[in-house]
């Protein structure tokens, strides 16, 4: 099971991308739990579930150093979703990015 958390400013715009990623994961037989939250909800979400990777939407990329620091001792990779993939809601590429980060940790 790969647990992927997407973070954006309000948690709304990323929900469509989550849906597309879930569809791709099902087609590729990737067992996954993919969800999206706002940046302010990340701490609570981390208390509630173990995640494998944290992907930041382009609109919150400025928060990467803060999340790198938070995840440092937890072995949870943090990366920024490519702006083009985010804009195109490219579930295939974003899922591939998440899996690559999980596999390389």
Q: Could you say which of 4, 5, 7, 8 is catalytic?
A: 8
92 three-class SS: helix
- Using alpha carbons, list the distances in angstroms from residue 105 to 5, 45, 67, 100: 16, 21, 16, 9
Active site residue 33: no
Instruction: Supply the residues annotated as catalytic.
Output: 8
């Amino acid at each position: 099971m790969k647990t992927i958390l997407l973070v954006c400013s309000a948690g709304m715009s990323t929900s469509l991308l989550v849906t597309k990623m879930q569809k791709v994961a099902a087609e590729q037989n990737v067992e996954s739990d993919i969800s999206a939250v706002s940046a302010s909800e990340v701490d609570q979400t981390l208390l509630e579930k173990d995640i494998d990777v944290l992907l930041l939407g382009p609109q919150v990329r400025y928060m990467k150093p803060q999340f790198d620091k938070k995840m440092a001792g937890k072995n949870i990779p943090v990366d920024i979703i490519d702006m083009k993939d985010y804009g195109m809601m490219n579930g295939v590429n974003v899922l591939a990015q998440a899996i690559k980060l999980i596999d390389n940790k």
